[in-house]
Structure 1
Amino acid sequence: MRLLFLDFDGVVHPLHAESTGLQHFCWLPVLVRLVEPYDDVRIVVHSTWRFIHTDNELRALLGPLGPRFVGSAPRAPREQAIEMVLGANKGTVVSHIALDDDAKEFSGSTVNLLLVEPHLGISDVRVQDALSAWLSGGLNAADDGSTLVVTATVVGRGPDTPYVLVEDAQELQFFVIKRVFEGDWEALDSGDVVELITTRGELSRVLRARLISSSGGLDE
């Protein structure tokens, strides 16, 4: 089977849904539509909702996706909890992906993270395209242990979020989180050129990043 690790807040509804006028799970139909053709995909909830809801309640909250629910992640930090599930199911899980909006919960480990914007979640077309690529099988071997060196330009920094968005010459975009950056994180600005070490595949993860040229000239 393949596992989809699912956060709720910021993924299937906005992070602060009450203040936006949108209801909880308002974007769940999008996920239902994307997953529906793939019978081998099962869902593990790693959202903090697992701390206040039983597995039966989580299954009910997932609506049409309830039959795919196979349990909630252990009570541990998100990245560690996901790794624990994967470690316990090595012989069964052939591929996985984690949907989450909180970059600081992840340090760039072996977790195949699809980071979403907390105000857009799964409604973001970019996220839908990346998830569709994984679901269709194109990402089954996305992280085979090999890496790729990529040169990219900083195009923006998320407000109040510990990541920057960068884009390479082929207009492929990557999220760079603070923990994997080697250098002065606060000095990064739009137009800066960075070198990335990424995993191979359509949904690459950035393992390391460093500044090679600032927007004002070569970095000394």
Structure 2
Amino acid sequence: MKVVFLDFDGVLNSLSDIAFGLGSSCFNAAAIERLNAIVRRSSAKVVVSSTWRVQHTMDELRVLLANAGFDGEIIGCTPVHSHDDARGLPDIGFIRCQEIQAWIDAHPTPLTSFVILDDLELEPMAAYHVKTDLEVGLCDHHVDEALGLLG
């Protein structure tokens, strides 16, 4: 199974989207279409790693993404770890990596490949990370990079 671990802010929207509003959607339409391209071309499933998973149920996240035009399959969310789980380190990127690894460890189906779409620094998982820019979000070159990692 191929998996895309998906952050929202800085991936599916950008600072300018947030500042100027996106109308009826929370997400940038071009970024959603790029995400669709990744999952269609790779047959990957999506696991939400965004902090949005703290404020929204799985069903709410599915509806939000579907209403924005996402047509892939969301199979779950990473667990939420506190700063204490990160051994006192306040590094959100480190915590995000722990959460992703915990999801991988908890699922018996081995992953053939995975990619992490996130604007955070994720050094422990750099080999799987496509780093987006909070100012811009998901771009065409990120699609190519993600597809290269997914194989």
State the shift of 1:37 in Å: 3.2
Kindly name which structure, 1 or 2, has the bigger radius of gyration based on alpha carbons: 1
Which has the larger strand fraction? 1
1:113 corresponding residue in structure 2: 129
Are the counterparts in 2 of residues 11 and 116 from structure 1 also a CA contact under 8 Å?
Answer: yes
State the shift of 1:108 in Å: 2.3
| Alpha-carbon distance in 1 for matches of 2:126, 2:105 | 11
1:126-145 correspondence to structure 2 within 5 Å = 126-135=141-150, 137=151
| Alpha-carbon distance in 1 for matches of 2:125, 2:37 | 29
Identity %: 31
| Alpha-carbon distance in 1 for matches of 2:126, 2:12 | 24
| Alpha-carbon distance in 2 for matches of 1:134, 1:91 | 19
Tell me the alpha carbon deviations over residues 2-23 of structure 1, each in whole angstroms, 9 at most, x when there is no partner: 1100000000110453314445
Relative to structure 1, is the Cα distance of residues 119 and 54 closer, same or farther in structure 2, using a 3 angstrom cutoff?
same
The answer as to 2:46 corresponding to 1:43 is: yes
Are the counterparts in 2 of residues 83 and 111 from structure 1 also a CA contact under 8 Å?
Answer: no
| Alpha-carbon distance in 1 for matches of 2:46, 2:33 | 15
| Alpha-carbon distance in 2 for matches of 1:61, 1:21 | 15
Instruction: For residue 12 of structure 1, give the secondary structure of its aligned residue in structure 2.
Output: coil
| Alpha-carbon distance in 1 for matches of 2:75, 2:15 | 24
Give me the TM-score of the superposition, normalised by structure 2: 0.76
Structure 1 counterpart of 2:132, which letter? Answer: V
The answer as to 2:9 corresponding to 1:5 is: no
Tell me the alpha carbon deviations over residues 131-180 of structure 1, each in whole angstroms, 9 at most, x when there is no partner: 23234x1xxxxxxxxxxxxxxxxxxxxxxxxxxxxxxxxxxxxxxxxxxx
| Alpha-carbon distance in 2 for matches of 1:54, 1:7 | 15
| Alpha-carbon distance in 2 for matches of 1:9, 1:16 | 11
Are the counterparts in 2 of residues 45 and 71 from structure 1 also a CA contact under 8 Å?
Answer: yes
Relative to structure 1, is the Cα distance of residues 47 and 16 closer, same or farther in structure 2, using a 3 angstrom cutoff?
farther
Higher relative contact order, chain-length normalized (CA < 8 Å, sep 6+): 2
| Alpha-carbon distance in 1 for matches of 2:11, 2:3 | 16
Are the counterparts in 1 of residues 4 and 47 from structure 2 also a CA contact under 8 Å?
Answer: yes
Give me the TM-score of the superposition, normalised by structure 1: 0.54
The answer as to 2:46 corresponding to 1:31 is: no
Structure 1 counterpart of 2:45, which letter? Answer: R
Instruction: For residue 59 of structure 1, give the secondary structure of its aligned residue in structure 2.
Output: helix
Q: How many residues align?
A: 132
Instruction: For residue 108 of structure 1, give the secondary structure of its aligned residue in structure 2.
Output: helix
| Alpha-carbon distance in 2 for matches of 1:109, 1:17 | 28
Are the counterparts in 2 of residues 45 and 72 from structure 1 also a CA contact under 8 Å?
Answer: yes
Which has the larger helix fraction? 2
| Alpha-carbon distance in 1 for matches of 2:119, 2:60 | 22
1:78 corresponding residue in structure 2: 96
1:148-167 correspondence to structure 2 within 5 Å = none
State the shift of 1:36 in Å: 1.7
| Alpha-carbon distance in 1 for matches of 2:127, 2:77 | 16
